[in-house]
Homo-oligomer: A and B are copies of this chain.
Amino acid sequence: MHKSHGQRIGYLSRMSHRYFSEKLGAMGIGPGQTFILKSLYHEDGVHQESLVDNCQLHKANVARALAKLEENGLVKRESDLNDKRAKLIRLTPKAIEIKDDFFTAFRSWSEMLTQGFTDKEKELSFELLDRMAANVEPYYGDKNN
């Protein structure tokens, strides 16, 4: 049977959860925390709100993911003294320690996806996904993710 874009994307998304659970679960990272953590490795000490933007997740889920990361000792949340509503998120030494393992697992998923792709195809597959996401953003990007 013909399978649609949507079906393929859903399948890949579900499989990625299984993959990340398997690879990162032992470090105390659930599949719902991967992108948040990745964003923090890229830029640490940010407001929770900027993680909402970066990861395009709902603020409720960012709150819960961070609670979990904190519980597992990967992140610290402290109030911003300049704005007592806001919280600053910082990676712990434990998180820094596992950074390499994290990225290894992270990259290996991309490599699994693009097995047998030429460099051109790898680039193109990424670009097309990016454009699909960009097509959707106007409809869903504004409100609250």
Q: What is A's interface to B at a CB cutoff of 8 Å?
A: 1, 3-16, 18-19, 34-35, 38-39, 42-43, 54-56, 106, 109-110, 112-117, 121, 124-126, 128-133, 135-136, 139-140
List of 4 A-B pairs having minimum Cβ-Cβ separation, nearest first: A13-B13, A8-B129, A125-B128, A113-B132
A3 and B130 within 8 A (CB) = yes
Residues of B within 8 A of A126 (CB): 5, 8
Partner of A133, one of B11, B132, B133: B11
Residues of B within 8 A of A11 (CB): 56, 133, 136
A114 and B129 within 8 A (CB) = no
B12 and A9 within 8 A (CB) = yes
- Bound form: Cα–Cα A130–B115 in Å: 12
- Bound form: Cα–Cα A3–B133 in Å: 11
The answer to whether A35 and B16 touch (CB under 8 A), given A110-B5, A139-B112, is: no
- Bound form: Cα–Cα A34–B39 in Å: 32
Partner of A35, one of B7, B12, B55, B139: B7
Chain B residue with minimal CB distance to A8?
Answer: B129
Would you list 18 pairs from A and B whose C-beta atoms are within 8 A, ordered by A residue?
A1-B43, A5-B110, A5-B126, A6-B110, A7-B35, A8-B129, A9-B12, A9-B16, A10-B16, A11-B56, A15-B140, A18-B140, A112-B136, A113-B135, A113-B136, A114-B132, A116-B131, A125-B132
